[in-house]
């Protein structure tokens, strides 16, 4: 056996999953894939990172721990190989000199170095297991993931719903979060931090919806380009779908709900781009006359929950448009 033919064995975790790590240095996302699917479905030429979508050949996805274990096995083999070769070389030389009355060589072998090649195990199994809706690859992640490691399928609807669920749980838990912050930082800081978190949920919801709407629109109109922020503007997004399918947001939301979601989208914009300070442009675009220029917008828990409800209604409708086009 040569140095390049060292056998390395991997064992799966208790659920049958195999640890992998994104080779992109900016990501290095850890995930698991079912060992059977890695052997049978993963392409040698292209594997996808579930988090960032980076692609690389299948031999580049070892975790840092696996690389260290492989290096230890290689080092053990090299030490054992060198030790055995020295024993053979000097032992043969000593035997060949036994009858020589002028030169005598004695050689005493040192302690035998054994080659240690234990199977490489995996991290303990994780709770979240995902099955790709396109190729049925089974993979497991901690937190969330966007792409199937085998086929690269973007599970936009699942990721979108997970994002909204996370936001909703945070809003519903804000009182407990406040109590935790109060114990550590005091009432004033706790109030400020929780207010910032609630305001931030508007951006989280709008960003999640923007990405979801973009993906649905691409399914319907794969060759038409849209600007990044077109689906951050209610009227623009609605018009794009109406032009493509004859169905706009008013199919799923009432007139009052359209006005309200537009105002909430505009409030998110003013928070992210003007530190929440009202200007004339906000009043004009939102139709919100409850503020005057120079005031600061106030976002409460019920505002964020209302936006969640509207966005869920829209996404339910849009999913049918995407499904109709793919059917």
Using one digit for the tens of pLDDT, what is the confidence trace for 56-89? 999 999 999 999 988 888 887 777 777 666 666 6
Residue 226 dihedral angles phi and psi, to the nearest 5°: -125, 155
Helix (H) or strand (E) holding 5: none
Look at the chain and count its residues.
327
The tens digit of pLDDT for each residue in 9-32 reads 889 898 999 999 999 999 999 999
Q: For residue 323, is it left (φ>0), alpha (ψ between -120 and 50) or beta?
A: alpha
Kindly give the parts of the chain with pLDDT less than 50: 1-3, 324-327
Token pair for 65: 């721990």
State pTM to two decimals. Answer: 0.69
Strands 30-34 and 47-48, sheet pairing? unpaired
The pLDDT assigned to 208 comes to 92
- Start-to-end Cα distance in the chain: 55
The pLDDT assigned to 40 comes to 95
């Amino acid at each position: 056996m040569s140095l390049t033919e060292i056998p390395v064995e991997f064992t799966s975790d208790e659920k049958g999953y195999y640890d992998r790590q994104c080779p992109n240095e900016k990501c290095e996302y850890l995930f698991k894939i079912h060992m059977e699917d890695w052997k049978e479905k993963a392409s040698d030429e292209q594997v996808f990172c579930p988090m960032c979508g980076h692609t690389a050949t299948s031999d580049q996805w070892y975790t840092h721990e696996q690389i260290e274990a492989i290096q230890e096995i290689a080092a053990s083999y090299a030490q054992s190989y060198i030790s055995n070769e020295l024993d053979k070389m000097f032992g043969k030389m000593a035997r060949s000199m036994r009858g020589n009355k002028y030169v005598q060589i004695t050689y005493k072998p040192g302690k035998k170095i054994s080659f240690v090649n234990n199977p490489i195990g995996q991290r303990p199994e994780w709770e979240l297991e995902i099955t790709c809706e396109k190729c049925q690859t089974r993979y497991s992640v901690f937190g969330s993931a966007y792409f199937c490691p085998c086929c690269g399928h973007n599970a936009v609807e699942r990721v979108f719903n997970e994002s909204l669920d996370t936001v909703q749980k945070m809003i519903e838990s804000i009182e407990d979060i406040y109590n935790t912050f109060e114990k550590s930082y005091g009432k004033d800081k706790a109030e400020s931090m929780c207010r910032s978190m609630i305001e931030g949920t508007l951006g989280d919801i709008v960003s999640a919806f923007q990405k979801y709407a973009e993906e649905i629109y691409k399914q319907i109109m794969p060759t038409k380009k849209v600007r990044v922020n077109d689906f951050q503007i209610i009227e623009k997004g609605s018009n794009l779908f109406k032009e493509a399918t004859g169905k706009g947001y008013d199919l799923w939301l009432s007139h009052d709900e359209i006005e309200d979601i537009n105002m909430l989208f505009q409030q998110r914009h003013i928070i992210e781009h003007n530190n929440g300070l009202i200007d004339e442009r906000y009043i004009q675009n939102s139709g919100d006359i409850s503020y005057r220029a120079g005031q600061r917008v106030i976002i409460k828990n019920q505002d964020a929950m209302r936006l969640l409800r509207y966005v869920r209604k829209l996404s339910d409708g849009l999913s049918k448009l995407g499904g109709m086009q793919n059917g």
